[in-house]
Amino acid sequence: MSKIFPIHNSPYNRLQPLPPGGFELRDSFWSPRLDTLRKVTLPTQFTHMEETGRIENFRRASGSSDQPHQGFVFNDSDVYKWLEAASLLSPPRPRGGAGGGVGGVGGDALPNQIETLTHLILSAQQPDGYLNTAFLFDEAPNRWTNIRDKHELYCAGHFIEAVLAAQDDELLAAATRLADLICGTFGDEPGKIASTPGHPEIEIALIKLYRATGDPRYLAQARYFIDARGHGLIGGQAYHQDHVPFRDLDKMAGHAVRALYLNTAAADLYAETGDPTLLETLTRLWERTYQRQVYLTGGLGARHSGESFGEDYELPNATAYSETCAAVAAIFWNWRMLLITADARYADALEMTLYNAALSGISLDGDKYFYTNPLASEGTHRRAHYFNCACCPPNLARLLASLPQYFVTTSENAVWLHLYAAGEFRLPSFHATIATHYPWDGHVRITIDTASQTTLRLRVPGWTLGDARISVNGDPRELHPEPVEGPGYIELTNHWAAGDHIDLNFPMPPRFIASHPAVIENIGRIALARGPLIYCVESNDPHPERLVVDTSAPVQEIPANGLIHLALQAAVTPASGAWANELYRTHPRPEPVEGQTVNAIPYFAWANGAPASMRVWLRTIR
Amino acid sequence: MSKIFPIHNSPYNRLQPLPPGGFELRDSFWSPRLDTLRKVTLPTQFTHMEETGRIENFRRASGSSDQPHQGFVFNDSDVYKWLEAASLLSPPRPRGGAGGGVGGVGGDALPNQIETLTHLILSAQQPDGYLNTAFLFDEAPNRWTNIRDKHELYCAGHFIEAVLAAQDDELLAAATRLADLICGTFGDEPGKIASTPGHPEIEIALIKLYRATGDPRYLAQARYFIDARGHGLIGGQAYHQDHVPFRDLDKMAGHAVRALYLNTAAADLYAETGDPTLLETLTRLWERTYQRQVYLTGGLGARHSGESFGEDYELPNATAYSETCAAVAAIFWNWRMLLITADARYADALEMTLYNAALSGISLDGDKYFYTNPLASEGTHRRAHYFNCACCPPNLARLLASLPQYFVTTSENAVWLHLYAAGEFRLPSFHATIATHYPWDGHVRITIDTASQTTLRLRVPGWTLGDARISVNGDPRELHPEPVEGPGYIELTNHWAAGDHIDLNFPMPPRFIASHPAVIENIGRIALARGPLIYCVESNDPHPERLVVDTSAPVQEIPANGLIHLALQAAVTPASGAWANELYRTHPRPEPVEGQTVNAIPYFAWANGAPASMRVWLRTIR
């Protein structure tokens, strides 16, 4: 057992995550993506980190390069996030029987690259524990002088998170030295700097480190940083969530990723302390956000300006910011809310975000990224191989690398299934196999591999709208006798015998969705979804705006390239017709329209082919 | 007779402008605006010029201030444009009987302010004729070193234009000294700088100066600057119209105001030289622009990025740039095309631009401005009292001050009416009075004041769609026996007796307009117009996007505050209804809609009250 990943049961979590390897994905949707992550995404990101000086900055810090520091002051964090992702895929030592890594590719470069980075990072750390390649040499006097803008604590947080994934004793010692330095530097005691970071992240890391080490100073330090916000220590702007104290927030505001990381940290703090004011605040913020500010894809952050949340119902499509990092952060936050409450609404939000706003952030071939994820485009929004500000690519990488953890949790005497994919779980008291073609098909079969007495709690996604069915060994069961642990989970208790099987059926008919009429851009429009997937029309001919969708006509399902397309019926306005050189026409005759079948594709798959116009929200007559 | 405004008949113009005072506006639409121009607009702009250092820059240049130069290098041009506008309203000497100024307010500050500026400008001119307050003292060595970006020739052009409005001998001498310096400095002869300005304007001014003085060097210099474009002398960017030679252009591109000033200058050059390649280019550009790139309001320039033209049919509404200066420039260009060709399509474009895209640029109370003129807004686009880059306010001022010139022209033995407003014209051979409530009412009565033998050519606006009627002394005349001078002008030849009257009737039923289906944002939408005015709905309750306009229902005309509002019938989606906390709803029921009457107002009048959402293009079922 690793000492870095002890089983720490957070006292105020109703659900406990599985230890790594507790669930092994072996499906046709996520597993190939994780294989691509190992074979394409991480290697190409490593190359980009080399080419952009991100790794060279560590060589300089460790004395093996005399290049000047390159790039943004927060570029170290990209290296740490990469290291976290790579470490999750390449655990340093095999763990018995539980299926450590994903894919199991031998001979790849990841272990050596991890080794290289580990060595460089350890060499870059200063004798006092300080670690940041941007504040060395001439810049050393500026250490900790502007933690609002200079991201030192943000980088430190990502270092600590990477360490806890890497499970390396020497790295852990380095992380505790850095954390000890931070604890000794910041606080409201005399001689310390009373401040809080401009970008939350260190709080999440410190609580993780507390869980790994048991050292309560790290928990206390995280609490200090959270409680110090909103008192003007860093300027009092909503951008940094410093406009009001955390517990006084009534809505998400400012920079979306910052706000979501703060909530994630506050949820972690609740899980350890049970401070009810934290959970009240988080619940209030979640409800406001998910009732007024979330895109249908799960994307958050409406505005390019300040990369920020907008007003209630301000959800523009073409100019949606919906940063990939905000989707990742929303998954972090919802996951923690789910662990605290076991409330399926958080699993619904997590699933929606994962399959749509987050997954759209990376190309199908795994080496191109979206920074922002709009819901409408004229084909000009294209993925890039990397960014100067490259927060999103490695953030997606570490999310995907950690994906198995989100499928299953435990609570006292129960096993909870939150997401569905083919795979196996191997818990001390419960071995079972899951077979399903989710998210393309809603049939899920759970086969018991070893006899046991276990209560299963199985999530029924909100999008099933009450149509889910279940049977045990072929016998239909009443679905909602009394959902004990909150709406959305059904409970099955049994003396399971090897070979017993549970069949879940979540019907996935294509469904049309409308938005609240206060979302101005979506008035008179509908979106299309199937199961957890949001669809879009991506086409130059006809342009999606030419369609008036007939929601009363059946929608056909068309398997294509490993996806399921949906064929819609629509009245289509021709692109020009008899207009010739007229730009405006008085007393227009009704446009001749033509009934036509138009294909919609999963939103996550758009912008992978030739540029074309895209719309999630389509015109209709309702 | 002023020597500055000799009657110069440009040899290749079919129409000749009237001398100043040839037409006197005396109506209820424009005359009060010109009164506001004198009493509010010009005085407040003068104050802003003082407060922002624009005038102080001239004091510094003339040695009476030691302030550093303030603001942009092109700020002198704002002073010149103001001086041009003020001079047009306050001619230095009364001209016999022809009605010099507008309004006739005595005792105002304008003459003194003109005097002050005249003195300062003359004192600021350098011994060699150079004039620009930004390139003196320390900056003197940088004179003429970057005419692409530094706007010295742009400012010089506005100085010359102001001088030609001011009709002051001393200023004229200063203008010719500056023009002589420019002619001696730029060109492809040895010892001269071979270049062309980054912002056209000097070309227009030099041709005006040629017309006023008869000196052919100024015409030649303008031609040089036009012909020098497109050869990479200033970097070869479309932004500066340097990407291809002028005669090779096949569409408007780059910075809209620059492109339109260039076309204006090229039209002037054609009027003097008859170079057919110029007119071919201008005609080609006009047709492409007005068939593919113009907003319904007459606004030009779709993109904020580069303040530029977009692709064909790229006409976004909320993000329309449609700069006020571009509307002013489009009026300049269309006016010259009309003079050259006597083709009524240019008068139609001029009228549409004047009453909509240009007039929306100034508030009803005359002291607030739009820089950009979008066709949709959430109430956040508001007028400002001035701008750091303040090109638009004085450009509108000089346009409005020169407005009477656009109503009437002459050609050999004919008088042409292009726009309609109540007023009088007093030509040597033709005196008549026009009575009309245009643009609110399409009835126009022309009463002959003095017997004469004159051919009248009266524009029939394109928006009348063939429904115009005409009578002479009460006898209906066939409208289109054979429009001799091109479509859109009807010809009346008569021995006019004093008291004869011609009644034109241009019916103005409200009309719905659709746009070419390639204008993506306007698919499924209509706009509303009446006479030359485009309408819009400006409302917070209901939001204009909630309307589905019933184009088959009658539209009511409602006089209100000196305007005519139009009451539309529409199905209105409620703002929230039964949605409560739902943001998205699966299997949406048809929205309950309510038939409602909604008022539309003239586009030029929007954003004069409390902030509200605005749309020109409204949803409809067609």
**Record: contact B291-A622, CB cut-off 8 A:** no
Query: Starting from the edge strand earliest in sequence, which strands make up the sheet with A489-496, in order?
Result: A16-17, A408-411, A414-417, A452-459, A489-496
Higher per-residue pLDDT: A290 or A573: A290
**3-class SS string, B350-380:** HHHHHHHHHHHHECCCCCCECCCCCCEECCC
Q: Which two tokens stand for residue A213?
A: 């080490």
**Record: contact B587-A545, CB cut-off 8 A:** no
Find out whether B584 and A463 touch, Cβ atoms under 8 Å: no
CA distance A180 to A400: 30
pLDDT of residue A576: 83
**10 Å Cβ neighbour count for B445?**
15
For A399-442, give the DSSP string.
HHHTGGGGTEEEETTEEEE-S--SEEEEETTEEEEEEE-TTT--
Cα angle value A448/A453/A458 (rounded, 5°): 60
Give chain A positions within 8 Å (CB) of B587.
465, 511-512
Give chain A positions within 8 Å (CB) of B290.
583
Give chain A positions within 8 Å (CB) of B286.
none
Find out whether B365 and B40 touch, Cβ atoms under 8 Å: yes
Cα first-last separation, chain B: 59
Fold of B23-94+109-406: Glycosyltransferase (1.50.10)
Find out whether B161 and B204 touch, Cβ atoms under 8 Å: yes
CA distance B113 to B43: 9
CA distance B118 to B115: 5
Find out whether A30 and A425 touch, Cβ atoms under 8 Å: no
Chain centroid to CA A231: 30
Residue B100 has pLDDT above 50, yes or no: no
Find the closest chain A residue to B515 by CA distance: A584
pLDDT of residue B622: 59
Q: How many contacts (CB atoms, under 8 Å) link A and B?
A: 127
Q: What is residue A614's three-state secondary structure?
A: strand
pLDDT of residue B7: 65
**Record: contact B517-A584, CB cut-off 8 A:** no
Interface test with B, best of A584, A603, A616, A620 (most B CBs within 10 A): A584
What is the average pLDDT across B62-73? Answer: 95
Element (H, E) at A118: helix A110-124
Q: Which residue has the tokens 């913020």?
A: A285
pLDDT digits (tens, 9 = 90+) for A526-557: 999 999 999 999 999 999 999 999 999 999 99
pLDDT digits (tens, 9 = 90+) for B502-537: 999 999 999 999 999 999 999 999 999 999 999 999
Find out whether B426 and B24 touch, Cβ atoms under 8 Å: yes
A13: pLDDT confidence band, cut at 50, 70 and 90?
very high
pLDDT of residue B480: 58
Find out whether B301 and B321 touch, Cβ atoms under 8 Å: yes
pLDDT of residue A480: 58
How much is the ipTM here?
A: 0.93
Q: What is the mean pLDDT of chain A?
A: 93
Residue A96 has pLDDT above 70, yes or no: no
What is the average pLDDT across B351-358? Answer: 98
B21: pLDDT confidence band, cut at 50, 70 and 90?
confident
**Amino acid, single-letter form, for residue A141:** P
A413-505 maps to which CATH number?
Answer: 2.60.40
A483: pLDDT confidence band, cut at 50, 70 and 90?
very low
CA distance B2 to A129: 85
What is the average pLDDT across A477-485? Answer: 57
Give chain A positions within 8 Å (CB) of B614.
none
pLDDT of residue A521: 95
pLDDT of residue B19: 82
CA distance B268 to B10: 9
The shortest CB-CB distance from B573 to any of A296, A517, A543 is to A517
Find the closest chain B residue to A462 by CA distance: B586
Find out whether A49 and A76 touch, Cβ atoms under 8 Å: no
3-state helix, strand, coil in chain B (%, to 5): 35, 20, 45
Among A125-134, A584-593, B95-104, top mean pLDDT goes to: A125-134
CA distance A39 to B333: 60
Give chain B positions within 8 Å (CB) of A527.
584
A92: pLDDT confidence band, cut at 50, 70 and 90?
low
pLDDT digits (tens, 9 = 90+) for B211-223: 999 999 999 999 9
Q: What percent of chain A has pLDDT over 90?
A: 86
User: Could you give the dihedral angle defined by the CA atoms of residues A351, A354, A356 and A361, in that order, rounded to the nearest 10 degrees?
Assistant: 180
pLDDT of residue A34: 97
A342, burial (CB in 10 Å: exposed 0-12, middle 13-18, buried 19+): buried
Residue A465 has pLDDT above 60, yes or no: yes
For A508-569, give the DSSP string.
---EEEEE-TTSGGGTTEEEEEETTEEEEEEESSS-GGGEEE-TTSPPEEEEETTEEEEEEE
pLDDT digits (tens, 9 = 90+) for A283-321: 999 999 999 999 999 999 999 999 999 999 999 999 999
The ranges assigned to domains in chain B are 23-94+109-406, 410-505, 511-619
pLDDT of residue B405: 94
pLDDT of residue B593: 87
pLDDT of residue B108: 79
The pTM assigned to this predicted structure is: 0.92
Residue B587 has pLDDT above 70, yes or no: yes
For B329-353, give the DSSP string.
HHHHHHHHHHHHH--HHHHHHHHHI
Residue B42 has pLDDT above 70, yes or no: yes
Q: Which two tokens stand for residue B134?
A: 């930004």
pLDDT of residue A94: 41
Interface test with B, best of A586, A594, A603, A622 (most B CBs within 10 A): A586
Number of alpha carbons in the 13 Å side-chain half-sphere of residue B434: 27
Q: What percent of chain B has pLDDT over 70?
A: 95
**Record: contact B520-A378, CB cut-off 8 A:** yes
CA distance B19 to B410: 10
pLDDT of residue A103: 41
pLDDT of residue B580: 84
B410-505 maps to which CATH number?
Answer: 2.60.40
Residue A481 has pLDDT above 60, yes or no: no
- Local structure of residue A19 (DSSP, 8 states): P
pLDDT of residue B484: 39
Give chain A positions within 8 Å (CB) of B546.
517, 523
